[in-house]
Amino acid sequence: MDYGIKILVVEDQLSTQLFIKRTLKKLGYHDIIVVDDGRKALREINAADFDLIISDWHMPNMDGLNFFKAIRNGSILRKIPFLLVTVETEKDNVMKAMKAGIDQYIVKPVNPEELQTRILQLFEGVEY
């Protein structure tokens, strides 16, 4: 199956990049671009249209939460579903992300079934 959506993965750790990309492909998502920080992700977003962003929180140069806030400032980009993936479990920080407007949140290590569930929740009611 190919869901036909373009996904931007923003993750600084190579092993996690490879795992997420491989997992997404197994789940039926094949149009995937991977970058290693928020600044590079901003350049990618300005160069192409994406249907989903999956981003780590803690990265060099620009972290995932600041990247999220930067793209939400653009009116067109405000509608792109955003899934934050992180090791962050402290309740105050999780609440900070949710209050900022993060659409979905997954704590690492990423479980493939949970990743699929979160993505499907983001696209609930959308025809592929």
CATH number of 35's domain: 3.40.50.2300
Domain presence at residue 35 = yes
Our measurement of the distance from residue 75's CA atom to the centroid of its chain's CA atoms, rounded to an integer in Å, reads 18
58 domain residue, yes or no: yes
Within a domain: residue 96? yes
> What per-residue confidence (pLDDT) applies to 77?
61
User: Residue 40 domain-assigned?
Assistant: yes
The domain of 17 spans 6-74+86-109
Q: What is the pLDDT of residues 60-112, one digit of tens each?
A: 989 999 999 888 876 556 688 999 998 877 888 888 888 988 989 898 999 99
Output the pLDDT for position 128.
47
- Indicate the number of domains in the chain: 1
Question: Could you give the angle at which helices 64-72 and 38-47 cross, rounded to 10 degrees?
Answer: 30
pLDDT exceeds 90 at position 14: yes
pLDDT at 38 over 70: yes
Question: How is the chain split among helix, strand and coil, in percent rounded to 5?
Answer: 45, 20, 35
The pLDDT of residue 76: 58
One-letter amino acid of 73: N
